[in-house]
Amino acid sequence: MHNILLIINREITIRVRKKSFLVSTFLVPLLFAGLMVLPSLLALWDSGKHYTIGVVDNSNAISDSLHTAKNLTYVKEKDSIADIQTYLQEKGYEGLLVIGKNIMEDTKDVAVYSLRTLAMDASERIDRDLQKIVRKQRITSYQIEGLEDILKKTDVEIDVRAVVFNEKGEEAETNSGMALVISYILGGLIYGLIAASGAMVMSGVIEEKNNRIVEVLVSSVRSFDLMMGKIVGIALVFLIQIVAWIILTLIIVTVAGNLLNLGAGDLNQMASTMSSVDASATGIMAKLEASGSLQEILKPLESINISQLLVVFLFFFFGGYFLYASMYAAIGSAVEEASDAQQLILPVTIPLIIGFVILMNIGRSPDSSIGFWFSMIPLTSPIIMPARVAYGVDTWEVLLSGVILLITFVFVTWMASRIYRHGILQYGKKFGWKDMAKWMKR
């Protein structure tokens, strides 16, 4: 145990002092913060682009109701245009809206001609204006007093409250959409972290093997201690960096928000701009406006046992990391170049990818046989089980999956250490799975 702690300390010390570690620690938060702040800036930024659209109304029923908006102007043309392309080139208009005679009966009897693809905001503005006018005129044609108000009253939106009983027997609101988001975040996060940290372990083993540093280390400590020390050390370095990323990103975003002075009016304008692009954002903002806070949206979280979810996430993440990291370390010990490891690493990454693919199906049916069995298989359970826990899983299933993962980790680590012990000192030849199988039997 003492030797393992020494190796862990060595790994942390060496890796934290590397320029690549320091650079990535400070650059990645800038990237994350940019991705968070930039969409807001783009949504608030007015490019000043104004669109002018010519209108030929063959129905003589629409054009008078088309009104100029902030960034769009309608110009009514009296006669039909014979050469639309020449017309657009001479006028310099962004488009020509041609409304057919039967627009009131056939809503497809309309077209917009342009020299290049019309911008989405202008195109959607034209669609909304036409829909509003045609709808209003159709309602008027029925000559029924107060028909529009009657139709508005018939537009009913049912919001069914989903209520479950928590472990204390208390009622709590739940939401399948919220559970779906949480399950995707947890499963996707574990998938990404295991893949990235496992690759880091393998590259670290290959680097030390090429530098012949490992020969000195093996003469002083057991190969198993060396492998476990490296795996645990890299895990701690990875966690240190993730914590630093989170803290620095929050600091940068907070400072950027204060410098940009994003007030409530700016946020409302941003939400209004983004709602035309993203329908889901519209729904969220509508709930926010109705409730006045995030309380209504976050209320379904009351049905989720956050402490249990956190414990399950950490256990399966570390279990999955040590399981895959030991395999990555074994493969790294058998090669001298990272390119040689690509063929050997494929069988290891396939289960990880399968788990990520199955994750996409968990939201539809978390208690299906597929969800159950893949949450028990140790190579996929680190991704699937935390995702299922977001929906609620019996304790015995979580415990059984955890025990299977733990037993598999111990067995795989023991086998990987045998490969590592022989492979780490082998040079001058490309080794494959047959060679590693022989090393495991020795």
For the segment 123-145, what is each residue's pLDDT rounded down to a tens digit?
888 898 888 888 888 888 887 88
Looking at every residue in the chain, the average pLDDT score rounds to 77
Separation CA 65–CA 60 (nearest Å): 10
Stretch 216-242: mean pLDDT: 77
pLDDT digits (tens, 9 = 90+) for 71-116: 888 998 888 888 889 999 988 898 998 988 888 888 888 899 998 8
Does the pTM surpass 0.75? The reply is no
pLDDT (average), residues 206-234? 74
Q: What is the pLDDT of residue 295?
A: 52
Which stretches within 100-221 are classed as H helix?
A: 120-141, 147-154, 176-210, 213-218
Residue 289 confidence class, pLDDT cut points 50, 70, 90: very low
C-beta separation of 110 from 99 below 8 A: yes
Residues 174 and 164: beta-carbon distance below 8 Å: yes
Residues with Cβ within 8 Å of 177's Cβ and at least 6 positions away in sequence, in order, are none
Comparison of pLDDT for 240 and 218, the residue scoring more: 240
Higher pLDDT, 181 or 248: 248
Model pLDDT, residue 395: 85
| Integer-rounded Cα radius of gyration of the chain | 31
Give the residue-averaged pLDDT of 425-440. Answer: 74
Check pLDDT > 80 for residue 335: no
pLDDT reading at 399 higher than 90:
yes
- SS3 (DSSP) at 74: strand
Max CA pair span of the chain: 96
- State how far the Cα of 171 lies from the Cα of 66, in Å rounded to an integer: 52
Half-sphere exposure of residue 96: CA atoms within 13 angstroms, side-chain side: 24
